[in-house]
Structure 1
Amino acid sequence: MIRLDNISKQNGRQLLFIEASAALQRGEKIGLVGPNGAGKTTLFRMITGQEPPDEGLVLVDRGVTIGFFSQDVGEMSGRSAVAEVMDGAGDVSTVAAELRELESALADPDRADEMEALIERFGEVQARFEELGGYALDGRAREVLAGLSFSPEMMDGDVGALSGGWKMRVALARILLMRPDVMLLDEPSNHLDLESLIWLENFLRGYDGALLMTSHDREFMNRIVRKIIEIDGGALTSYSGDYGFYERQRALAEQQQQAQFERQQAMLAKEIAFIERFKARASHAAQVQSRVKKLDKIDRVEPPRRRQVTSFEFLPAPRSGDDVAKLRQVHKRYGSRVIYEGLDLLVRRRERCCVLGVNGAGKSTLLKLVTGSTEPDEGTVTLGGSVKLGYFAQHAMELLDGDRTVFQALEDDFPRAPQGSLRALAGCFGFTGDDVEKRCRVLSGGEKARLVMAKMLYDPPNFLVLDEPTNHLDIATKEMLIAALAQYEGTMLFVSHDRHFLAALSNRVLELTPEGLHDYDGGYTEYVARTGQEAPGLHA
């Protein structure tokens, strides 16, 4: 359906693709992976014709429809979310627009003399609309929006009043309703809660078109794709399997290449030592010449060229008391909406509590109450003795000073820390080389999240409260964070939609339901096994 034939592409001074080739066949579901800046979004833009390759061809079969979801959703306002989604439904939305125009023309007394032609055309368009399933379109659009966690009020309200994250869901819903021959999805799992993520996973598994997508959620990727295309060093390499298979194969290939490289280096060193030793002796001139020629002809093996993710090790956190946070008979409401009535909760030292609940159940509110960011209407919230709190909230990224560089932002928080130590910290969180000189205002969402996390974890608290800490983080940085937090000896209370993160770190599950708090001993994996659901109300 789509072929990339020896494409080359340069972005400024960076070579993104060098005579790279790949193909997307009918019905294939492919994950596109590679380090940040490798050219994943550029590849999508070349397939959709928004950017041409410098050399080579992008070939799309005649008549193939492509739906492209990207993080840049543009402006939306003046229409309901349902209308916005239906407008992107391909042919049927074009026919619907003509039907609306004809209805308006039929009601216009100034066009009475055209009535016969208008009625005839209206009949033709109406038949075509029916044939395309147009009358079911509103219901289908609402079904998709409901799957992405929209309430009926949000579906019918002005899309302009929605936050950026919800507008992204509208843009995603447009593509899903369109059901094109090929879907190109650039980070569709960003901004989705766990329920929406699982719904989208099931939708894409049942989609019979071809799919090419990026995602920072390895579990999501593993359940959908059956092939991986990796962008690295200008080349496109295909692996037949899910993300886990790709990781294993890539690690194996790296080991083999490293072993080849080391063997060749040893051989070269031996040959060069011989040449250096005997080059001045006439008796060995022929042998020396022979070996010099041999060295010139050898194809040099390059060492594996992989982005190294530095591991981050916590300094020991001070010990807290055994009771870390206590909520007694807490009541909380927003307007007429009751969030909690008489909530009791005790978080104990070294517990890692993950908080689950449907949208609006009060997950973020619980974290805000514990951190003192919001007050209960009734009841008490108290932190235990010697508790040193660290709170990662989504709005923390907005509080960074845009004029400061990454390094200055770290220095501002830790003025007495050695420069080398701060540079090592920045490197752990993906800021290497000149990246530390970037001003905060130009950082992407992922870079801001990494900087806030670095600031919080350098001098570690003994109670970490994390609200969606993995949003915007790429898979490699998430793995580093999971490895670091697995060694952390403090207490954690966190909300996340990343099932790999939940399973790796939790040892207690707090499920918020309309009936109250359900408390499960054991981590997320045990919760799924016990309840048969991966998220409240959704069976695995």
Structure 2
Amino acid sequence: MLVGLQNVTFEFGARIIVQDATWHIQPNERIGLIGYNGTGKSTLLKVLVGQYTPSAGTVERGRETTIGYLHQDLLSFDTNESILQVAMSAFEKVLQLEKEIEVLGKELEQTGDEKTLLEYTDKLHELELLGGYNIQHKTEEVLQGLGFANADLNRPYKEFSGGWRMRVLLAKMILAQPDLLLLDEPTNHLDLPSIEWLEKYLQHYQGAVVIVSHDKYFLNRMVTKIVELYQRQLHFYNGNYEFYEKEKAVRIEMQQKAYENQQDYIKQNERLVERFRAKASKAAMAQSIIKKLDKLERIEDVAIERPDLRINFRVDKVPGRMIVELDHLSKAFGDNAILKNAAAGIERGDKIALIGANGKGKSTLLRIIADAESFTGNRKWGHNVEESFYAQHQLEALNLNNTILDEMRECGSQMTDLELRALLGCFLFSGDDADKKIKILSGGEKARVALAKTIISRANFLMLDEPTNHLDMHSVDLLISALNRYEGTLILVSHDRHFIAKTANKIWEIVDGQIKEFKGPYDEWVAWNERMKKNNAGKKEEATRPEVQQRQPQEKAITIPAPPPAVNGPVNKELKKEIQRHQKLFQQAEEALNKNKERMLTLEKDLADPELYSNKDRFLKTEQEYKNAVTENHQLEKKYEELFTKLMELEEKAL
């Protein structure tokens, strides 16, 4: 055993975090520590490392056990040293040996003493055994794996932002190779390539790892055991997160049945007590039943779990087929060219995940689409597009003097205060939290308010930059469910692969300044990417063979013909009339479509009314009307698209 809790109770003020908990962490275990936000996962890690002392019970640690603990508080550390020096400080013993060898070397030069030579040789041998000659190479390899460029390695640590500093400290921690690594949200500051590198590194790590994370994909690949902190107890599941979800569902079902059976038993005995209490001959039996009920260990009702609130987007207007077109797009920061004459288009119904390494320009491209970043080239909005942009750095848009509830009221969503409070509960603002002023909120809390505002807007096009940061797993699942029901179009940037896999139907990647589109979900993109890498590796190997090099054809330059010059002349009168006629038909189709959508919403409300089902004829009539409205909606959308396409063709002819 490396570290263990033995009958530990820990109280934070008047609140009990964990009660009578026993947990032993064994060598080489891969554990995911999970629980809803605010249950005390990070606090429990601090109890394990000895930062907090338990109210009762003991924390046991092996005498030789070394622990590495990655957490947000580490960001208070600052230094003028380079990031390479900070990460290399993990090799404390090696660095000390190098200093001693340097001192002995100078002494040897001056004296030539045999005893000094022997000590010098022993120290060199010890340095070799500790792998001291490779520490710089190892450190560079780890830092590069976590996303640092070679040119950055000698830059001062203090020049980097919080997210990059956390990567340096993570590098230092894994290079130190402690017996136990405690990682609190390690993927929060990593891009996808860095997360994939960390996974591979930790899979071969010679030590135990405990991970607190809201990234299901990461947990599924990394852990073989789940410890859940729930209702002040630790619950253990021997499997990954997917296994935990299935097993917990079974456990909840069994607990619910046991609870219901116990409640039936209690009620039955209480009725006996009421019946016999007044009878002298049965009074002793009644007292015996009361004592038996008092001693009964009560089973908790599982219904106290967090409710599954439904986040419903409302889309007022149906946009045209194209949402936005990007053409000849270029953007550079100094010598760093992010986009070079790039082109792409977003169509109605697209749900795009913009992925890739940090520094490739994902957030920059998102800001260009949202008109929040300067660029050269063309960006053309489609017809009837109403957009909403969520970006964490745009939190200054919040009114600091408003309460959270006031800020939500000003969105014009027409939701009642009760509905707004229920929605805020989903974003971890419960009870009186909704009445807090924006100015006293943390950065993470402000980000969640901004995301909640985005969700209740009536936009038909959403742009989301890292929307899952600061959300627990339950809230991420609610957001996934909401985005899957969303009838509009969206483009998002996220490092959460589970979130991407569940929401996106297209993948965009910025490669060599161009926007590469993959038409399919994330899992298919991963499989395709792996096939391409294998194919390219095979071609490279074949191309190095002499007989293949001799027969390779020379590349020919491809000449692209220039487009014909535009013809400027008077517009055909008949064509103009045709355009006007189609514009009128298009407007009528749009009005009919919106009117039918309103009718569908009214019928949906009627069908949600329990009183409707007490009148069979009325229910059947309403149900048939709703089916007819759905059918009509499909026909109207088809007509709307046909008219829109025709109108675009006519307008192009007129140019």
Q: Per-residue deviation at 1:492?
A: 0.7
In the alignment, what sits opposite 2:78?
Answer: 76
In the alignment, what sits opposite 2:48?
Answer: 47
Q: Per-residue deviation at 1:99?
A: 5.4
In the alignment, what sits opposite 2:383?
Answer: 385
d(CA) in 2 for partners of 1:296, 1:124: 72
In the alignment, what sits opposite 2:319?
Answer: 320
Alpha-carbon spacing, 1:535–1:371, altered in 2? closer, same or farther (3 Å): farther
Q: Which moved more, 1:401-410 or 1:521-530?
A: 401-410
Q: Per-residue deviation at 1:93?
A: 3.9
What amino acid is the match of 1:306? E
Which structure 2 residues correspond to residues 417-496 of structure 1 after superposition, within 5 A? 417-496=415-494
Which structure 2 residues correspond to residues 185-334 of structure 1 after superposition, within 5 A? 185-277=183-275, 279-281=277-279, 285=283, 288-289=286-287, 291-304=289-302, 305-334=304-333
User: Does 1:375 find its partner at 2:374?
Assistant: yes
Alpha-carbon spacing, 1:90–1:471, altered in 2? closer, same or farther (3 Å): farther
d(CA) in 1 for partners of 2:112, 2:436: 64
Q: Per-residue deviation at 1:162?
A: 0.6
Alpha-carbon spacing, 1:60–1:399, altered in 2? closer, same or farther (3 Å): farther
Q: Per-residue deviation at 1:118?
A: 8.0
Q: Per-residue deviation at 1:409?
A: 3.1
Alpha-carbon spacing, 1:319–1:122, altered in 2? closer, same or farther (3 Å): farther
d(CA) in 1 for partners of 2:36, 2:452: 20
Contact 1:482 1:501 (8 Å CA) reproduced: yes
Q: Per-residue deviation at 1:466?
A: 1.1
Q: Per-residue deviation at 1:193?
A: 0.4
Alpha-carbon spacing, 1:19–1:297, altered in 2? closer, same or farther (3 Å): closer
d(CA) in 1 for partners of 2:256, 2:160: 51
RMSD over aligned Cα atoms: 3.0
Contact 2:467 2:494 (8 Å CA) reproduced: yes
Count of residue pairs brought into register by the alignment? 534
Residue by residue over 1:328-348, the C-alpha shift from the partner in whole angstroms, topping out at 9 and shown as x without a partner, is 111222212222222111100
d(CA) in 2 for partners of 1:31, 1:432: 26
Q: Per-residue deviation at 1:470?
A: 1.4
Residue by residue over 1:272-309, the C-alpha shift from the partner in whole angstroms, topping out at 9 and shown as x without a partner, is 33443554455765664554444334332221243335
Alpha-carbon spacing, 1:486–1:141, altered in 2? closer, same or farther (3 Å): same
TM-score, structure 2 normalization: 0.75
In the alignment, what sits opposite 2:551?
Answer: none
d(CA) in 2 for partners of 1:295, 1:538: 72
d(CA) in 2 for partners of 1:334, 1:537: 34
d(CA) in 1 for partners of 2:510, 2:454: 27
d(CA) in 2 for partners of 1:263, 1:393: 50
Higher relative contact order (CA 8 A, sep 6+): 1
In the alignment, what sits opposite 1:354?
Answer: 353
Alpha-carbon spacing, 1:94–1:20, altered in 2? closer, same or farther (3 Å): farther
User: Does 1:516 find its partner at 2:514?
Assistant: yes
Contact 2:36 2:473 (8 Å CA) reproduced: no
Mark the structure with the bigger radius of gyration: 2
Residue by residue over 1:12-57, the C-alpha shift from the partner in whole angstroms, topping out at 9 and shown as x without a partner, is 1111122211011011111111222222222222222222222221
d(CA) in 1 for partners of 2:461, 2:315: 12
What amino acid is the match of 1:10? E
d(CA) in 1 for partners of 2:147, 2:405: 39
Alpha-carbon spacing, 1:348–1:130, altered in 2? closer, same or farther (3 Å): same
In the alignment, what sits opposite 1:22?
Answer: 23
d(CA) in 2 for partners of 1:47, 1:280: 56
Contact 1:189 1:216 (8 Å CA) reproduced: no
Contact 1:468 1:496 (8 Å CA) reproduced: yes
Partner of residue 149 from structure 2, selected from 139, 146, 151:
151
In the alignment, what sits opposite 1:136?
Answer: 134
Q: Which moved more, 1:299-308 or 1:208-217?
A: 299-308
Contact 1:390 1:461 (8 Å CA) reproduced: yes
In the alignment, what sits opposite 2:540?
Answer: none
d(CA) in 1 for partners of 2:534, 2:414: 46
Alpha-carbon spacing, 1:403–1:339, altered in 2? closer, same or farther (3 Å): same
In the alignment, what sits opposite 1:339?
Answer: 338
Residue by residue over 1:343-381, the C-alpha shift from the partner in whole angstroms, topping out at 9 and shown as x without a partner, is 11110011111112333322112111100011222x111
d(CA) in 1 for partners of 2:496, 2:418: 33
What amino acid is the match of 1:9? F
Q: Which moved more, 1:1-10 or 1:261-270?
A: 261-270
SS at match of 2:73: coil
Identity of aligned residues (%): 37
Q: Which moved more, 1:28-37 or 1:292-301?
A: 292-301
Q: Which moved more, 1:190-199 or 1:317-326?
A: 317-326
d(CA) in 2 for partners of 1:68, 1:219: 22
What amino acid is the match of 1:373? A
Residue by residue over 1:458-477, the C-alpha shift from the partner in whole angstroms, topping out at 9 and shown as x without a partner, is 12311011112112322111
Q: Which moved more, 1:494-503 or 1:509-518?
A: 509-518
d(CA) in 1 for partners of 2:317, 2:115: 82
Residue by residue over 1:467-495, the C-alpha shift from the partner in whole angstroms, topping out at 9 and shown as x without a partner, is 12112322111111101111001001111
What amino acid is the match of 2:149? S
d(CA) in 2 for partners of 1:262, 1:278: 25
In the alignment, what sits opposite 1:59?
Answer: 60
Partner of residue 91 from structure 2, selected from 77, 84, 89:
89
d(CA) in 1 for partners of 2:327, 2:163: 34
What amino acid is the match of 1:504? K
Alpha-carbon spacing, 1:18–1:292, altered in 2? closer, same or farther (3 Å): closer
What amino acid is the match of 1:24? I
Higher helix share: 2
SS at match of 2:187: coil
d(CA) in 2 for partners of 1:11, 1:306: 22
Alpha-carbon spacing, 1:444–1:224, altered in 2? closer, same or farther (3 Å): farther
d(CA) in 2 for partners of 1:231, 1:118: 57
What amino acid is the match of 2:81? R
Contact 2:338 2:513 (8 Å CA) reproduced: no
What amino acid is the match of 1:65? T
Contact 2:507 2:522 (8 Å CA) reproduced: yes
SS at match of 1:156: coil
d(CA) in 1 for partners of 2:518, 2:335: 30
Q: Which moved more, 1:484-493 or 1:527-536?
A: 527-536
Gaps spanning 5+ residues in structure 1: where? none
d(CA) in 2 for partners of 1:284, 1:205: 67
d(CA) in 2 for partners of 1:467, 1:118: 62
Q: Per-residue deviation at 1:533?
A: 7.1
Contact 1:7 1:17 (8 Å CA) reproduced: yes
In the alignment, what sits opposite 2:599?
Answer: none
Alpha-carbon spacing, 1:167–1:274, altered in 2? closer, same or farther (3 Å): same
d(CA) in 2 for partners of 1:500, 1:488: 18
Contact 1:449 1:473 (8 Å CA) reproduced: no
Q: Which moved more, 1:274-283 or 1:125-134?
A: 274-283
Alpha-carbon spacing, 1:12–1:115, altered in 2? closer, same or farther (3 Å): farther
Alpha-carbon spacing, 1:470–1:284, altered in 2? closer, same or farther (3 Å): same
Q: Which moved more, 1:302-311 or 1:3-12?
A: 302-311
d(CA) in 2 for partners of 1:270, 1:363: 63
d(CA) in 2 for partners of 1:25, 1:47: 13
d(CA) in 1 for partners of 2:115, 2:441: 58
What amino acid is the match of 2:73? D
Contact 1:425 1:458 (8 Å CA) reproduced: no
